[in-house]
Structure 1
C-alpha cells in the first residue's frame, strides 16, 4: 500500500513539474481605471463615464485605434437591461446613455471592418 501511494505521489509530482500554464494572450492590468477582458487576441478595457461607457482596445499591449469597429454595448444590472450603440471616439469606443453599476454584467458585441464578430464580456467591479 505504501509503495503504491509513493508511486502515485511520484507520478503526480512528475505530471505537475511538466505542466505548462496557458496564459491569456494580451491580458493585462487596467490602464484607465476600468475592467479588462480579452477576446480574439485583443485586450479590451471597459471604463465607466458620467454619461455612459468607454472601451479602450489594445493589441499585444499596445493601444489600437478602434477605426472601423462598430457594435452594441448591453448592460444587465439584475433584471434591468439597457443597450447603446458603440461609436468610435478618437482612441476609444463610446456608448452613451448607460449606467454601469457595481456587479453589472456587460457584453460588447463588436464587428470588425472585415466582418469578424467579437464578443467581449465584463463584470463591473
Structure 2
C-alpha cells in the first residue's frame, strides 16, 4: 500500500468511528414497530394496522407535543384511496376504523402543529 492509500484508509476508519459514536442522536429507528421517515429534523413514525393508525412524532429524538396537532393521512393501495383524520391520543395522533394496510401500501400524511406551517411525510408500509 502506498502512503496515500494508508492515509485514506485511516481517515475512513476515523470517520466511521465518529459516525458510530454519534449515531444515537441521529438514529431514525422505529420505537413503536412502525415505519420511520424524517422531515426537517422531525421523525415521523407511522404504525398502520387494520384497526388502528398511529403517528408518533419525535423532534431531535424527543417526543413532540401533539396536544395541539392534527394530521390528514392518505393511504394508497393499488387503485384504492383512503383519507383518514388523525387526532391527539396521548403521545401520538391516532384514528380507529377499518384500514387497508397491506405491505407496499403508500401513505402520505400532512401534519399541522399549533399554527405552524404544515409538514408532509411519505411512507411505504412493510
Residues 8-66 of structure 1 show CA distances to partners (whole Å, capped at 9, x for unaligned) of: xxxxx8xxx8xx9xx9x955111111100011210011112341310111111122231
Task: Tell me which moved more, 36-45 or 25-34.
Answer: 25-34
1:85 and 1:26 map into 2 onto residues whose CA distance is 29
- Structural RMSD (CA): 2.5
Match of 2:35 in 1: 35
Determine helix, strand or coil for the equivalent of 1:28.
coil
Q: By percentage of residues, which structure has more helix?
A: 2
Larger radius of gyration: 1
Going from structure 1 to structure 2, the CA distance change for 1:64 and 1:26 (only over 3 Å counts) comes to farther
Match of 2:80 in 1: 80
1:83 and 1:77 map into 2 onto residues whose CA distance is 12
1:26 and 1:69 map into 2 onto residues whose CA distance is 24
Residues 1:117 and 2:92 aligned together: no
2:43 and 2:121 map into 1 onto residues whose CA distance is 9
Contact 2:68–2:113 (8 Å) recurs in 1: yes
Match of 1:6 in 2: none
- Give the superposition deviation at 1:96: 2.6
Residues 88-110 of structure 1 show CA distances to partners (whole Å, capped at 9, x for unaligned) of: 00000112332211000001111
Q: Count the aligned residue pairs.
A: 110
Q: Name the TM-score, length of structure 1 as normaliser.
A: 0.75
Q: Name the TM-score, length of structure 2 as normaliser.
A: 0.74
- Give the superposition deviation at 1:68: 1.1
